[in-house]
Amino acid sequence: MKKTVLIFSWLAALSTSVGHGQTLSKEPIQSGHTNWPLMVSVQFHSLALPFQDVKAAFSNVGLALGTDYRYNQRGNLIQSFQAGYYRNRYAGDGLFIFTQAGYRPHFGRVYADLKAGVGWNYTVHPNTTLTLKEGQWQTTGRSGKGLLMVPLGLSIGYNENSLVSPFVGYQFFALAGYNPSVPVVPNQLLQAGARIRFNY
């Protein structure tokens, strides 16, 4: 009888333990991210196909500011917003703003972002442009043009229990409507920065 009671007691304790473990496994992941952090990054631009001519990008420096919003408690469905500027004396400077929807899996304190979106890029000609007026070529300055921007991004970050968390990222984006002979232009950005949380 005592053995039977002991066995039932042990099974009850085991059942409670397993149930508690399952409850914990269903709790939201504590990602450490809050909505609307400030993201500050240094970026490097090049006019190239994905992951091509990466070394040349480090000659063209820019800055970007951004933020993101979590759609769910687990923090793995996000919407990000970013605005920035890059300097490129050969391909032309650029000023952009875009938004991306993304998926953010967590691996302990490390997280990754996979994002896609749409935006707008104002590209400035690298040299003075000329137009033909009344049979003569006249300078029109370094005029620019607003273009549709389609960015695809990925990044990796480390989520520390602090106000500042570092990350590195890569953005490939296509610009549509550059000119009739080259309707789509490929670009890439290498980014390194930090996510700053004010309400941690």
Say if CB 63 and CB 38 are below 8 A apart.
no
DSSP conformation class of 112:
E
- Tens digit of each residue's pLDDT, the chain (200 residues): 544 444 445 444 444 443 444 333 343 444 455 789 999 999 999 999 999 989 889 999 999 999 999 999 888 999 999 999 999 988 889 999 999 999 999 999 999 999 999 999 999 877 666 566 666 666 665 578 899 999 999 999 998 778 899 999 999 999 998 877 888 999 999 999 999 988 65
Residue 82 near residue 39 (C-beta atoms within 8 A): yes
C-beta separation of 64 from 43 below 8 A: yes
Taking alpha carbons only, the member of 171, 154, 170, 159 closest to residue 196 is 159
The sign of the CA dihedral 71, 100, 36, 195 is positive
